[in-house]
A and B are shown apart, each in its own frame.
Chain A
């Protein structure tokens, strides 16, 4: 204290008005200050969205929601993205493979907790209703984030209040408890208090909350309870039965969901995450990248030139996901006809964009019959360059006969996929230099076109991204949820069948009966309707199919690496494991 006395003396001598050791921080703002009024509180609400486009839908989220399932293998059946698509190909998974989702979700959840905990501090809401609508956004998002946390990681720390102190002990709350204490109540609250809509793009309305509530209730089936199936059915029915009331409708045509024109303000979508060319928390170089995920490599054939390619939506060359044999087979009806959704969901034909003349190499590589396709044979620009055919399509048998006599590449799905449900890595040439060689056709496979919407941004040379909105859920899935909930509750029944038939009717597929209805049928139908739409990994978990024996049967390229009891959950990131002060209590998931 003597020192302070000195201090004062010294300062007096200096004639300086302050020798104080207090901190002056004019550019800093505290949460207390921001939460004082509506304008500031709005910022806190917006912060709850910050991580959603940053880490989830539209980003790499497909890797953890579609990868490693029965539907896909890696592009060219390689080991690319092997942690996600092939369970590390038999090696060890990267412990941080799902870090972004863990860190991102909890980051956002803290903002949700701030909003929920402080809503009563705001004095200038114009009405009680405005207040409830605002806070409901945070409830909705918290439910959504926790839903992904528990499905990806299993039991997780459950934090429902703002982080105010450094509590480094963490406890893994059982999944069902998180559903019961947070996900379901939050979504119920949001479904009750959110506005009916329409809202600003990216803000949820009641349809979003109801849809997600139905999905979450159904997902609890995974945890051996039927307790919430009624609620799933009820929430789904609400939406299905009062579509106009909730501002949602089924498009008359299935493919309209994925048209560029419908990408923004999508009528069937329950909730979409916007990407804009100017705003958002992601770097502008790296917005929605889903359109890069599913494309094969048509440039393997010289008639498809890359020049100008990448600037056209849907003409990306080389993706991440290659369909599995199972996914392509699921579109085949028992009568060998094809479900119409195959034709519209996948691109199977390409036209040449250059005048092409067959080179010596290409003649050999694609095993042309030299009597029909000589070196120098021409394929004019604009003509058919690649066609992927399969039995069940018209003209298939006829065309197959002249497969190697065409100036364009005609290939049979059987050239790429074997009867063992595996991708064919080798091909046996017969016309040219006969013998077994690397499969030249592996770069051509049906390419999912659901994400070829939105405009491409090229903010930098050789760098492309898209401002397409990412659809979190659409009404089509709600019909499938209703059918599944009903099936779990009452077995194959007419109500369940009807929900399915609405979707099948829309695409002109054969109507089904209760006799067709099995658990596997639901999985198959979901694949036909929803493949690539951020849901398959969860579907397999819920239906008890995320296991080695199922995956080995339908998609052995992936299934061979699946370890039961390990790969059904993601590893908790190393940073979390290191930071907790109770490592004995807070344990890593099994096998990591």
Chain B
């Protein structure tokens, strides 16, 4: 059956090798001349077999096993100097036909070192493949194809399934934190189901998108819907020579996620589960009792110069005074926080035969958040199936369906619990929540009163693609893939009269809204790959792609207020006395063409050239199309003759250099080039019952000349392997110039605007630069019999700068400064606290001892005074870390495994809202319990004296308190696992049985002492603190 193809292929390739300029053409011509239909059926192939096999043919049987003697399924067995290949079956066996007396075969299989053997006709062979730990032969997924790591010309990092599974989490990117140099991942919220932010090699765009492009099984998709245990590998394309093939979407890097595919052979059943406990957040409580009174008495003293004589000097509200006199203190945070629980169950089956392979999985994930009403449930199903129709055709599909049920508690619960008066009766005699625990205070728990608050999001996500592979001859493959992602989401919210959440904008309580979102994105891609050699040494791989996509989003919004019963929740909008309805549609299309040539000479000199032509609907006519070219060159020095003497020291050495242009498609939504407006959601009122519908202009002014934002990236890299192949090192240096930023430029307010805010306009203006260095080092420190120790170190330093801005000047109101990173903090600078000995000098600054001492611009009035003002503000720092790193250590001792993972982010500043939750006024508002404030008796404190100012909003420089060095490192994860001995589990017909215990986030070390009660990863947020997690889990394979 194979013979037909072999002969045909041989002839054509021969023709190609003999110098034809058009190998493809020749292929088709020859097949036509021979009368061999290219699309022949299996039956006719079989019939042809006899005609062609004229020589005497000898069959050779063999078996492929691993070092333990287990059969290797699907290994490729190729006859050298022939085009004949086959693969091993479920028991590892294969059959080849030899036309001479002897020959040699090459056996390859992913994960194993290749093996070349000489065979003799009539003999059967047993081939043992050794596990390959050479990263170089690893297959890396690149845009629209795959490549061996040894052949890469660009900067690509890969993460495999096992490393992802190391962190038990429902969010795959969470598991990648610190594992890829240059990929800065952080999580800012401890909300159930919270997402992470990821940026690769800094931020390039000011108003556009800085998120990488996520490609899941070839099609852009939503990674948060994925089940991490379904993932086979994640490949991160970092430099432009790799990402330019994604053209206008490639400038922020591309993260390619490949899910597990079915494998032929015995069915493998996997069961993974874990159960965990979330809690112990680093987070302060509010002050209570004497601590609270001390602050309030000091505040009074700060204002009046003497301590208050009477309790009613502090508690102006008689009811509050009474609660104080009766000692009714409440620690709101205690009542609000509970311990969260996380559980996850994944079940998968992987199996099939030579023709049909399938991977099926089910997943259930349940996360209970830190407060009641905050939880997230996720159900996911995946089916990846492929089927070989014939030697020429293969079809397949990847299907995923995810259903999420998410309840979100209002985030103001945390701030309220820290700042509300800690007095009153939180519960009534029957244990029900008291809405008003004391006059003038609303219970921070109010949303937990029955039927008072609901914010529920149900989402369905379907991602599916189907493909047809056509491989007419060796080296040539064509794939047509059609993919769709269809999402629908229902958001339902209800706010009762007693709810404390910030209600839906524009509604009077009680209010309910129901929002239905539906988005459907289609994409159709055709990919042609052709690999061929010219005169053995010249290897070519040519790729051509067409891609078409259409994205549509619809929304229906309905809301109402004035319900007579809370029990309706958002399910009976017709009971509303007033209602709002609206709907919208957003659509966009794009079309792209891609071409790429990869060439190498003897595997030593590698060249890659690619170009993509992109057209999108949302840019202006005339600017819709653009081209994104890239090129890269790599040189494997270690393959050179002159390198031979060094070879035993440095086994592999490759230099890479690449340059490319990529675009940024994010940020500008559809219709950014169209003018217009919409009906005001609520009419203007002309009296109690006369409504005046109004028209609101879009805040964005139309720009008829809008084009692409482009990044021009140079990447120079080095890959090395040394220390007896025990260390792998990758180093990259890059420089990215991003020009013609998609900049949402503020127009002068005097031109008008929308909702009282000035117009904005998307313009191609401004530029940024990112320059950095990355290092990844994998080492096998100890490779003993029973004990192994492997480490991975990643390090990345990036310098991000804004190099050009509209008008050529700093934009203070947008916090944008030339030569500074995009996220720069500009404010007064805290120098300390004016001490009593400095009273005279402080007075010159309109300040008193205990006030904040601020840096000034140095100017002094004639009378020697200086009023702190806008000119004193300065650049304080940036939210962008100077460097990030990760250090992973994996130990194995017989059946035990231990991994310890550290991450670090260093040099960034954070603006801690928790610090400025300190209330220095004489009001009754509360403050966090970790505060240290100045009094004449406590002159070393960080925070200013209470009572000097009546409000924090009018307190010049108060915000200067919150900027602190956010540098930290944390032990992100410690996992200890134990696998039952093979001999034992074999009897239970299991392959593997492992339990483990993981501590996530157990230790955090901050540079700044002020962050003692904060997890700096949350960037100073005063909502939903990040938690520590303690998880126990189980992996079973049958």
Contact = CB atoms under 8 A, between A and B. Distances in A.
A581 B761 contact: no
Interface string B302-329: 0010100111110011110000000000
Interface string B665-692: 0000011011111111011111111111
B748 A25 contact: no
Contacts of A157: 748, 750
B410 to A, nearest CB: 13
Nearest to A275: B685
Nearest to A39: B693
Contact of A43 (B440, B679, B868): B679
B685 A278 contact: yes
* Main SS class of interface, A: loop
Given A50-B694, A102-B749, A202-B687, A92 B680 contact: no
B751 A167 contact: yes
Nearest to A592: B870
B81 interface: no
Interface stretch (B1-9, B116-124, B243-251, B583-591): B583-591
Interface stretch (A211-219, A339-347, A380-388, A571-579): A571-579
Contacts of A274: 685-688
A47 B846 contact: no
Interface stretch (A15-23, A220-228, A484-492, A513-521): A15-23
A498 B323 CA distance: 59
A27 B585 CA distance: 6
B316 A299 contact: yes
A277 interface: yes
A40 interface: yes
Interface string A558-592: 00000000000000011111111101000000001
Contacts of A305: 318-319
Contact of B312 (A90, A365, A575): A365
Interface string A75-102: 0001111110000111111010000101
Interface residues of A, number: 110
A460 interface: yes
Contacts of A47: 680, 684, 694-697
A10 B867 contact: no
B862 to A, nearest CB: 13
B938 interface: no
Max chain A CB contacts within 10 Å: which of B590, B692, B950? B692
A3 B613 contact: yes
B671 A579 contact: no
B625 A3 contact: yes
Interface stretch (B41-49, B264-272, B500-508): B500-508
A403 interface: no
Contacts, number: 321
B131 to A, nearest CB: 46
A276 interface: yes
Interface string A468-494: 000000000000000000000000000
A23 B674 contact: yes
Interface stretch (B350-358, B807-815, B971-979): B807-815
Interface in A19-54: 19-31, 34, 40, 42-44, 46-47, 49-51, 53-54
Contact of B748 (A31, A168, A461): A168
B683 A46 contact: yes
A544 interface: no
Given A23-B617, A46-B692, A461-B436, A281 B682 contact: yes
B703 interface: yes
A572 B689 CA distance: 38
Interface stretch (A105-113, A249-257, A535-543): A105-113
A279 B683 contact: yes
A203 interface: yes
Contact of A31 (B319, B578, B675): B675
Max chain A CB contacts within 10 Å: which of B304, B675, B756? B756
17 contacts: A23-B588, A25-B587, A103-B749, A106-B750, A163-B759, A166-B703, A167-B751, A200-B690, A278-B508, A278-B688, A299-B317, A300-B312, A300-B316, A438-B304, A462-B436, A575-B758, A576-B748
Interface of A: 3, 6-7, 10, 14, 18-31, 34, 40, 42-44, 46-47, 49-51, 53-55, 78-83, 88-93, 95, 100, 102-104, 106-107, 109-111, 113, 156-157, 159, 163, 165-168, 170, 200-203, 264, 274-281, 283-284, 297, 299-300, 302, 305-307, 318, 361-362, 364-365, 437-438, 457, 459-462, 467, 573-581, 583, 592
Interface of B: 304, 306, 309-313, 316-319, 435-436, 439-442, 446, 497-498, 500, 503, 505-509, 524, 546, 548, 578, 583-585, 587-591, 593, 613, 615-618, 624-625, 670-671, 673-680, 682-697, 701, 703, 745-759, 761, 763, 806-807, 809, 811-814, 846, 867-870, 949-951, 954, 956
Given A27-B584, A462-B440, 20 more contacts: A23-B618, A25-B671, A46-B695, A50-B696, A50-B755, A102-B750, A103-B749, A107-B753, A107-B757, A163-B701, A166-B763, A170-B750, A276-B685, A283-B505, A305-B318, A437-B306, A461-B436, A461-B442, A574-B813, A579-B813
